[in-house]
Chain A
Amino acid sequence: QGQLVQSGAVMKKPGTPVAVSCASSGYIFTDFYLHWVRQTPRRGLEWVGWINPATGDTMYAHQFAGWVTFTRDTSIKTAYMKLTRLTSDDSGIYYCAREGESWGPFDYWGQGTPVTVSS
Chain B
Amino acid sequence: DIVVTQSPESLAVSLGERAVISCRSSQSLTWKSKKHYLAWYQQKPGQPPKLLIYGASIRGFGVPGRFSGSGSETYFTLTISSVQAEDVATYYCQQYYDVRTFGQGTKVEI
Contact = CB atoms under 8 A, between A and B. Distances in A.
Interface of A: 35, 37, 44-47, 59, 61-62, 95, 97, 100, 103-107, 109-112
Given A47-B101, A47-B102, A109 B96 contact: no
A100 B55 CA distance: 12
B96 A103 contact: yes
Given A105-B96, A112-B48, A46 B39 contact: no
A109 B101 contact: no
Interface residues of B, number: 22
A109 B47 CA distance: 10
Name which of A47, A59, A106 has the most chain B CB atoms within 10 A of its CB.
A106
A105 B94 contact: yes
- Listed from nearest, the 10 A-B pairs whose CB atoms lie closest are A109-B48, A105-B39, A47-B100, A45-B102, A105-B54, A44-B104, A107-B51, A112-B48, A95-B48, A105-B51
Contact of B48 (A46, A61, A111): A111
Given A47-B100, A105-B39, 12 more contacts: A35-B100, A44-B92, A44-B103, A44-B105, A45-B92, A45-B94, A46-B102, A61-B99, A104-B54, A104-B96, A105-B54, A107-B60
Contacts of A61: 99
A55 B61 CA distance: 29
6 contacts: A45-B94, A45-B105, A47-B99, A95-B48, A104-B54, A105-B39
A97 B103 CA distance: 17
Nearest to B101: A47
A111 B94 CA distance: 19
B105 to A, nearest CB: 6
B60 to A, nearest CB: 7
Contacts of A107: 51, 60-61
B71 interface: no
B62 to A, nearest CB: 11
Contacts of B102: 37, 44-47
A37 B48 CA distance: 10
